[in-house]
């Protein structure tokens, strides 16, 4: 940690950026930190206007023109005055789309050159896909939303003939200076003391279905689109007096985190659990509109008791989340040899603006590599407010059948908790209805046999 602190003081990266730089240095040929989104536009898109909008977007953002260079082993971010920013246009057949995206998603960025990649994919005359990929050292999920939103705004200006070569965007440099100043504040010292206390005792190792974490980084994503019935039930529960905290999104986040903790306990047997959760860390209105890497991943810890119910667990998670938010402007990291968490959770609600009056849906693409054994993302994926769960599995630990089983188990926990807060968190929650019925039949048969034995 002393070496890390020394590099940070000599560098001009934020602490989170420095962690991504170090992670990429450890695996230079692996696209671990590609942030890829595909925006499906069910309308005609003019390639020339989209390409012009993309060039103006890049020219207007210091982070999108950022490269990382090393001087004597210390990374520095440099804003390039300009570089070739053309958005590639590709005319594809519908059946070719997935293959093209999968191959392009595994591109490894050269940190000393451009860290953004974009393409406009034509699938049909009235269906286009906007492909955007940024290295996470310059981007987080909210920044990805800002990039798409501004791209659509600039496209509209181009259509109207009002697009210039550059517009005014808040620079990420403002946040770099803010973080450096914040580290000298009493607020930061309190946060440092809080996280030191939180991490004093190690959490239990999480062995999902008995499997220990491996040393590889191969990953695979499984998406599960929640039914309208499930979404409605979850939103009603999130807005109830028993759960609601501040906003609907925060309340839904707490609900899903609670269900995830319950699931992790049931499939691993661990009781002292630690989960990496994403803090957007955009503490001012200006930062909320700034393209860049603001996100912090901080560990949230709870202990599961013998008589735990969903109601009591939600109470623990709520208290932990609120405490974490108070001390959120901090970087804990997640050392490989002494990890603070093995699984992570992310909740994103970024309602996408329409494109020229057409509703747009987004799909976040997994590049096939990851650090944790399991990451779960809850996303609002279209303007209708539908929710999708994305499970990123360590594919060297879980074969396809085990991945499907894990998704089914988690949804069973979600259904049980959302229907009855006073439901006990026990292993019966992992049983399907048919398994429960079969168990009841076997139990009944055993009781009958025992009574017959006594009578004789």
pLDDT in tens, 228-246: 999 999 999 999 999 999 9
What is the H or E stretch that residue 413 is in?
helix 400-419
pLDDT at 211: 77
Beta bridge partner(s), residue 380: 387
3-state secondary structure of 45: coil
Which structure tokens are listed for 259? 């269900």
CA dihedral (7, 8, 9, 11) positive or negative:
positive
Q: What pTM did the predictor assign?
A: 0.91
E strand residue ranges, 8-115: 34-41, 66-71, 74-79, 88-91
Q: What is the mean pLDDT of residues 304-330?
A: 95
Residue 434 has pLDDT above 70, yes or no: no
User: How many C-beta neighbours within 10 Å does residue 181 have?
Assistant: 10
Q: What is the mean pLDDT of residues 171-185?
A: 95
E strand residue ranges, 290-429: 296-303, 343-348, 361-365, 374-380, 387-394
CA dist., res. 114 & res. 153, Å (int): 23
Sorting pLDDT into bands at 50, 70 and 90, what band is 451?
A: low
Nearest to 143 by CA among 158, 131, 153, 133: 133
What average pLDDT is seen over the chain?
Answer: 91
Residue 30 has pLDDT above 90, yes or no: yes
Residue 384 has pLDDT above 60, yes or no: yes
Treating both helix axes as pointing N-terminal to C-terminal, what angle do 228-238 and 400-419 enclose, rounded to 10 degrees?
A: 50
Of 152-156, 179-183, 215-219, minimum mean pLDDT range: 215-219
Q: Give me the domains of the chain, ranges plus CATH numbers.
A: 2-173 (3.30.559.10), 206-425 (3.30.559.30)
Q: What is the mean pLDDT of residues 412-424?
A: 96
pLDDT at 448: 46
pLDDT at 242: 93
Q: Considering only residues 172 and 397, tell me which one the structure prediction assigns the higher pLDDT.
A: 172
% of the chain beyond a pLDDT of 90: 79
pLDDT at 149: 95
Q: What is the mean pLDDT of residues 178-207?
A: 92
Of 289-293, 320-324, 378-382, minimum mean pLDDT range: 378-382
Q: What is the mean pLDDT of residues 366-386?
A: 87
pLDDT at 263: 97
pLDDT at 443: 45
Which structure tokens are listed for 350? 């970024």
Sorting pLDDT into bands at 50, 70 and 90, what band is 262?
A: very high
Residue 251 has pLDDT above 50, yes or no: yes
Which class for 452: exposed (0-12), middle (13-18), buried (19 or more C-beta within 10 A)? exposed
pLDDT at 261: 97
Q: What is the mean pLDDT of residues 143-159?
A: 96
Q: What is the mean pLDDT of residues 316-339?
A: 87
């Amino acid at each position: 940690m002393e070496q890390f602190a020394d590099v940070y003081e000599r560098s001009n990266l934020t602490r989170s950026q420095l962690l991504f730089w170090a992670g990429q240095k450890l695996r230079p040929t692996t696209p671990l930190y590609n942030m890829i989104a595909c925006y499906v536009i069910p309308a005609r898109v003019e390639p020339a206007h989209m390409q012009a909008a993309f060039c103006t977007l890049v020219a207007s953002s210091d982070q999108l023109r950022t490269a990382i260079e090393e001087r004597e082993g210390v990374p520095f971010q440099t804003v390039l005055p300009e570089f070739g920013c053309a958005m590639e246009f590709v005319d594809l057949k519908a059946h070719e789309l997935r293959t093209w995206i999968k191959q392009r998603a595994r591109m490894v960025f050269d940190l000393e050159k451009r860290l953004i990649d974009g393409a406009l994919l034509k699938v049909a005359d009235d269906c286009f896909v906007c492909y955007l990929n940024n290295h996470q050292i310059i981007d987080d999920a909210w920044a990805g939303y800002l990039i798409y939103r501004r791209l659509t705004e600039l496209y509209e200006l181009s259509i109207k003939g009002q697009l210039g070569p550059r517009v005014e965007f808040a620079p990420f440099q403002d946040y770099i200076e803010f973080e450096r100043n914040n580290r000298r504040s009493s607020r930061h010292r309190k946060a440092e003391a809080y996280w030191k206390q939180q991490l004093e005792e190690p959490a239990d190792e999480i062995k999902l279905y008995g499997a220990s974490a491996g040393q590889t980084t191969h990953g695979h994503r499984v998406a599960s689109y929640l039914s309208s019935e499930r979404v409605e039930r979850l939103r009603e529960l999130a807005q109830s007096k028993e759960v609601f905290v501040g906003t609907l999104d925060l309340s839904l986040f707490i609900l899903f985190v609670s269900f995830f903790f319950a699931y992790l306990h049931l499939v691993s047997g661990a009781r002292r659990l630690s989960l990496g959760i994403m803090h957007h860390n955009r503490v001012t209105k200006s930062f909320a509109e700034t393209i860049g890497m603001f996100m912090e991943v901080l560990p949230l810890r709870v202990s599961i008791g013998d008589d735990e119910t969903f109601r009591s667990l939600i109470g623990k998670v709520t208290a932990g989340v609120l405490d974490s938010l108070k001390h959120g402007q901090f970087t804990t990291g997640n050392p490989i040899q002494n990890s603070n968490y093995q699984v992570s959770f992310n909740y994103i609600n970024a309602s996408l603006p329409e494109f020229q009056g057409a509703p747009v849906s987004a799909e976040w693409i997994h590049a096939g590599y990851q650090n944790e054994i399991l990451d779960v993302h809850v996303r609002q994926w279209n303007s209708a407010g539908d929710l999708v769960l994305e499970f990123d599995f360590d594919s060297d630990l879980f074969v396809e059948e085990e991945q499907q089983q894990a998704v089914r188990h988690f949804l069973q926990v979600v259904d049980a908790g959302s229907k009855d807060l006073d439901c006990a968190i026990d292993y019966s929650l992992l049983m399907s209805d048919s398994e429960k019925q079969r168990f009841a039949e076997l139990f009944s048969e055993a009781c009958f046999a025992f009574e017959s034995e006594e009578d004789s």
